[in-house]
Chains A and B, each alone.
Chain A
Amino acid sequence: MTRIELVRRPQHSALFSVLSPFIAVLITALIGGIMFAMLGKSPIGGLHAYFIEPLTEVWSIHELIIKATPLILIAVGLSVCFLSNNWNIGAEGQFIMGAIAGSVMPVLYPGITGPMVLPLMLVMGMAGGAAWATVPAFLKARFGTNEILSSLMLVYVAELFLDWLVRGPWRNPEGFNFPETRSFHADAILPEMLSASGRAHYGFVFAILAALIVWFMLSRTLKGYEIRVLGESPRAGRFAGFSAKRMVFFAFIVSGALAGLAGIIEVSGAIGQLRPAISPGYGFTAIIVAFLGRLNPLGIVAAGLILALSYLGGEAAQISLGVSDKVANVFQGVLLFSVLACDTLIRYRIRIVRPQPAAAPEPAR
């Protein structure tokens, strides 16, 4: 019987390293089309509403950039973590803690204004995210705790902490008992880039800068080399004189700080106050972004825009087709699976084995 085998490649395929994300997107679109057909909608119409419509108007491109900003910031930090073999799944929590820490100034001290407020908020946001990420880092380095579990569980702690704050001590005294903090004053709002055409704020510039800096670090400096060596082989890293424990802290602090920065940018730029829910799961979606971008910060910029499109497409499809906005989550999940599956092609090639095994001809490579 004819069967399909995976044959290990002698060397990573450079071609498929580049092609694999595109194949994954293609497969996702295919499965999405089937899903629309099963929902009784036209597959072409569905995919059009999802992936094309949001790009046809200027205001919605602004929205795309707003949604891509936190995804890129978080995913760039996660790439440092994942490359060094530190599995930070709790970026969502670090995002929230960054938002809370960054909001201390405008919420508790609304009387303090001036040009220094915003920079201070951004720094405090980074510190808050980094501090929250230090917890799983410490537990891993000191006690050997599994960081996947500890970082993930801290997400729920952060979510509930935010919920308690905005319903309790930080609730807006003039807010008619709505669970919200007071709206940020003008000096605490991240300005818009082109306010004539849409809402996109300067957070996107931070995201691009972060991607460039981390890209430079990873590909051009000894620190990046250290990250990659420790991720590939901790023992070889020790032989090289690198400390895996210090790397745990470094990776978690970098990614926590970037997630925290994303949190305060989101609150200060897009929302303008703290609410019980400030993220539609950016911290988790960023994991997909990181892998879709091949853990390369420049790839992550592109991947962030694609995933942001899936959020917008979800909203658009809900309006124009009347499908649930949960379809966006389905797309994201399918995309992650496709990306991971397509990565197999980098290390393996597909071989079709025909019945007469003794002289099975090999397909050209």
Chain B
Amino acid sequence: MTASASEKPGPTPLLAVEGITKRFGDLVANDAVDFDILAGEIHALLGENGAGKSTLVKMLFGSLMPDGGRIVWNGEQVSIANPSAARHLGIGMVFQHFSLFDSLTVAENIALSLEDDVPLSTVADEARRLGEVYGLTLNPEALAGDLSVGERQRVEIIRCLLQEPSLIILDEPTSVLTPQEAERLFETLDKLKAEGKSILYISHKLDEVKRLCDRATVLRHGKVVAHCDPRAETAKSLAAMMVGEEVQAVRRTHDAPADGEAGRDVVLGVRNLDQPPLGPFSTPLRAIHMNVHAGEVFGIAGVAGNGQSELFEALSGEQLQDNPNAVTIGGAPAGRLGPNGRRRLGAAFAPEERFGHAAVATMPLTENILLSRHASDASAYQSGGRLGMLRRSALGRTLARVVDAMDVRKSGENPDAGTLSGGNLQKLILGREFDRRPRLFIVNQPTWGVDAGAAARIRQALMDAATAGAGALVISQDLDELLEMCDRISVIHNGEMSEPLDARTVTREQLGLLMGGAEPEKHHGVAA
């Protein structure tokens, strides 16, 4: 880990960053950061959320201007004033937060980022071709607003590849892919590398970094803590550099109930749940059937856009069922109950999208706690009977409890949710539910885009809740996460769920095949 950039005598790097500094008020987001990327190299940028990776990358892509330091491109100092300048240099970027217009189609979104006037049909054909070459199946006519997170990311990757850049910056690119698809992406990246292109690869998945990257730069609190060769490190030592301490592996603290064990209560029962598609690009749900027992963590794997969001909304009560017994919570029929009715039966929910679904960015944290708890804890947070006056002091005490229990890092006493980083907001969203001690958790992508430390904490909290007797349904695209936490795993594909499999004996290959469906090419289910 001492192979520092400056010691390498080799050829001129494609990109060198020297002493880059960026301040936001009192916060130094990047403090004299140095690193370089050679032509034909895959370089990893490692760091927890808030370590300054996004800031650094935004400066490379011209979205932010550095306060100090130099950027050297092919041996010449450059100033990257805007993303267009970055593209002209040959830097392509796949952002972590997607920048697509919801009301435009995939092809239109791609065409927008092209500077030349290309006919839409050409763009669509080219996108389709690139999608096939790189295993990123896409329907160019679909509206961006109807795409799942995973599909949106595919658009971003293809949009970037269309520019034929010499440096591609990828931010957490595999978080929504099956192992097979990720492997295909790695092959693509290897191919791009062989073509002499450079890749800046940002990831929390240390195994990937070890598999893929030639060198790594590790950031912590805005500073470079190490340049290293990831292949010479262990995942554990990389993680330790990232967080500055050894990450605790999640402990299984409870005994897994065997499939169909009679002694345990069924906290969530789903019987023949059918749901027609809710929009032109929504996935229908077909005959969903499952039991989640008390003390059990039940996982649902699957590639984005196969009905996970639809299933979540059907279970949370945002979409009602016709048959009250299609969904039962703690044995009580819940199919006709809205979210608050289901919460009163002891269920807790955490959706995939944090802003605009699980939380309101422009509201303070206390009001975001109220979002899911105003009805289930009405007596704690409301007074004055029908007047429904809010008890702010009680909300403040709950916030303090949640912040303490989940180690939520925030600035100020009660800031707007929008100021929290992804990981901290997710800890708050889950923490407000743990604080209720519900008997059923239904969470969708609980650690998507969350840094390693926060993810471990969230998983541990879910496991602890299961140990204490609650049931948990975890919908996730992250197989490592599911294999680590779950007792049983089922796969959702095109709105249908597979039989649950025992997580202790199932293999990744088995799950991967189910995730891809019987016919892997057709797995992108667009409802007619």
Q: Which residues of A contact B (CB under 8 A)?
A: 10-12, 220-223, 225, 228-229, 232-233, 235-236, 238-241, 357-362, 365
Of the candidates A223, A241, A358, which one forms a contact with B79 in the assembled complex, judged by CB atoms under 8 Å apart?
Answer: A358
Of the candidates A238, A240, A358, A359, which one forms a contact with B374 in the assembled complex, judged by CB atoms under 8 Å apart?
Answer: A240
**What's the minimum C-beta distance from A241 to chain B, rounded to whole angstroms?**
4
Interchain CB contact under 8 A, A240 and B388: no
- Most interface-central of B318, B359, B367, B388 (chain A CB within 10 A): B388
Interchain CB contact under 8 A, B360 and A358: no
**Would you give 22 A-B contacts (Cβ < 8 Å), ordered by A?**
A10-B419, A11-B415, A12-B362, A222-B374, A223-B388, A225-B367, A225-B370, A229-B371, A232-B362, A235-B353, A236-B356, A236-B357, A236-B358, A238-B318, A239-B318, A239-B358, A240-B374, A358-B66, A359-B68, A360-B65, A362-B67, A365-B25
Q: A225-B370, A232-B362, A358-B79 are known contacts. Are A241 and B338 too (CB-CB below 8 A)? A: yes
**What's the minimum C-beta distance from B30 to chain A, rounded to whole angstroms?**
14
Interchain CB contact under 8 A, A222 and B382: yes
CA distance A359 to B79 in the complex (A): 9
CB 8 Å contact bits of B345-362 with A (1 = contact, 0 = none):
000010101011111111
- For chain B, the bracket of interface size reads 35 or more
For residues 299 through 351 of chain B, which have their beta carbon under 8 Å from a beta carbon of chain A? 316-318, 338-341, 343, 349, 351
**What's the minimum C-beta distance from A357 to chain B, rounded to whole angstroms?**
5
CA distance A229 to B389 in the complex (A): 16
- A-B residue pairs, 10 tightest by C-beta: A222-B388, A241-B340, A241-B339, A233-B356, A358-B79, A240-B371, A232-B360, A221-B388, A357-B79, A235-B357
CB 8 Å contact bits of B118-138 with A (1 = contact, 0 = none):
000000000000000000000
| Chain A CB within 8 A of B264 CB | no
For residues 56 through 93 of chain B, which have their beta carbon under 8 Å from a beta carbon of chain A? 65-68, 70, 77, 79, 81
Specify which chain A residues have a CB less than 8 angstroms from the CB of B388 in the assembled complex.
Answer: 221-223
CA distance A64 to B90 in the complex (A): 64
CA distance A358 to B18 in the complex (A): 12
- Most interface-central of A228, A229, A239, A357 (chain B CB within 10 A): A239
CB-based nearest B residue for A235:
B357
| Chain A CB within 8 A of B372 CB | yes
**What's the minimum C-beta distance from A83 to chain B, rounded to whole angstroms?**
12
Interchain CB contact under 8 A, B351 and A239: yes
Specify which chain A residues have a CB less than 8 angstroms from the CB of B375 in the assembled complex.
Answer: 241
CA distance A229 to B388 in the complex (A): 16
CB-based nearest A residue for B22:
A362
CA distance A46 to B25 in the complex (A): 44
Specify which chain B residues have a CB less than 8 angstroms from the CB of A12 in the assembled complex.
Answer: 362, 416
CB-based nearest B residue for A365:
B25
CA distance A220 to B416 in the complex (A): 18
CA distance A357 to B62 in the complex (A): 11
Specify which chain A residues have a CB less than 8 angstroms from the CB of B278 in the assembled complex.
Answer: none
Q: A236-B358, A360-B65, A362-B23 are known contacts. Are A229 and B363 too (CB-CB below 8 A)? A: yes
CA distance A223 to B23 in the complex (A): 41
Interchain CB contact under 8 A, A236 and B65: no
**What's the minimum C-beta distance from B387 to chain A, rounded to whole angstroms?**
6
Specify which chain A residues have a CB less than 8 angstroms from the CB of B317 in the assembled complex.
Answer: 241
CB-based nearest B residue for A234:
B356
